[in-house]
Amino acid sequence: MKPLEKIRVLDITYYLPGPFSTMRLAEMGAEVVKIEPPGGDPAFSMSGGAVHRANNRGKDILKLDLKTEHGKAELVQHIKHADVLLESFRPGVMDRLGLGYKKVKEINPSIVYCSMTGYGVDGPLANFGSHDLNYLALSGVLSQIADSKGKPIIPKNTLADYAGGFAGSESILAALVQRFRTGEGSQIQVSITDAMATFQGTNLEYLISGISGDGIPEIDGSYVSYNIYETKDGRYVALAALEPKFWTNFGLFAKRPDWISYQFERTESKEHQKITELFTSRTWEEWYQISLETDFCLTPVLRPAEISQHPHFANRGNLVSLK
């Protein structure tokens, strides 16, 4: 039996953060009904519906026009039997539809009602339209995803959307625990930007301590022991030999015990050039095999199509299957 079996969830969200959040609940056994407008989730407009397919597995889709009395009445019937309602409209929209928390609580006092927004339900940006890139930028995270010149790079993955999704499912689970203890429902507000900003905790401690304004110096790409290296065939591997024992193992593997003292040499040094030459002496496939056989924190930089082929994911039940 999965932990959330017999828990009913109403998902009134679009695109990625909300649907990802409730998909996680569905994977834990919850019965999730996703409410979509007659024309479907707007995510269908992106790449033929790929975003929708990726984030709505295990759900029942129900199309309702919430601007009509009939649509709202049908949703109310689902609310009566729901344990959780997650919505991601801009602040005030659910109230205007007559489906805000106060109204829904009257219908179902024990419901967990979660509102997921970009910036919270009040404040100067509450109604500000934004997407993943905006949340990354405002949270300070984007400034730390930069090239060697310090220019921020657009990530190819929606990091903030996923962070918001995790924060949503985590908050809902905590509220369900509270309900099981007290019998009372609750209202939750999840801000995607706030969730992303919590990733800055360690970096802010470094700032407050006067150590660094850019996070952890040892892992910022400045040192030879914690870096990304190009291989002979133009692919890349990640070396993260942060502890002395791992760096020592690397030096012994390379048959260069003199490199053991290089661990915190800068990337602009002549030592870095020597290590770079070592990595370009072998192909990606060769380094891939070495990564499976050695112990100095080396991993290949996999492409999406290659993930399911790696022994780790094959052993984990193919969590990222392409099927």
User: Three-state SS for 227?
Assistant: strand
Q: Does the annotation mark 233 as catalytic?
A: no
Which is the catalytic residue, given 11, 83, 132, 161? 161
Which is the catalytic residue, given 131, 214, 220, 310? 131
142 with 114: CB under 8 angstroms? Answer: no
d(CA 142, CA 291): 30
Q: What is the chain's alpha carbon radius of gyration, rounded to the nearest angstrom?
A: 24
243 with 295: CB under 8 angstroms? Answer: no
Q: What angle do CA 79, 83, 88 make, to 5 degrees?
A: 70
Helix (H) or strand (E) run with residue 48 in it? none
AA letter at 26? A
168 with 116: CB under 8 angstroms? Answer: yes
d(CA 229, CA 300): 10
DSSP state at residue 44: G
d(CA 279, CA 284): 9
d(CA 308, CA 75): 39
Specify the residue for token string 């997650």: 86
Q: Does the annotation mark 258 as catalytic?
A: no
Token output for 37: 């407008």
192 with 116: CB under 8 angstroms? Answer: yes
Active-site amino acid positions = 131, 161
